[in-house]
Amino acid sequence: MQCLDDKAFGGQYQLDLLNIQNTLDFKKLLLSNPEEMRDVFIQQILEKGEKREEPLVDVVA
């Protein structure tokens, strides 16, 4: 999930085992076409995903 988060969402969303059941609608994912499953997954995270907090320290020099 970390790889998908970095590529598709730029690390803006926190998706882990503690909040995945509240973020994703598994029924909607399973009923979607296999070609559309990735798009449905991304759409659900954009709509209901928990945003990461901004770091207090800037690590970019």
The total domain count for the chain is 1
Structure tokens at 14: 């926190």
What pLDDT band is residue 33 in, cutting at 50, 70 and 90?
Answer: very high
Start-to-end CA span in the chain (Å):
28
Residue 58: inside a domain, yes or no? no
Structural domain includes residue 60: no
Q: Which two tokens mark 59?
A: 């690590």
Q: What is the pLDDT of residues 11-32, one digit of tens each?
A: 777 777 888 888 889 999 999 9
Query: From start to end of the chain, where are the E strands?
Result: 13-14, 50-51
pTM score of the predicted model: 0.65
Asked whether residue 47 is assigned to any structural domain, the reply reads: yes
Domain containing residue 43: 2-51
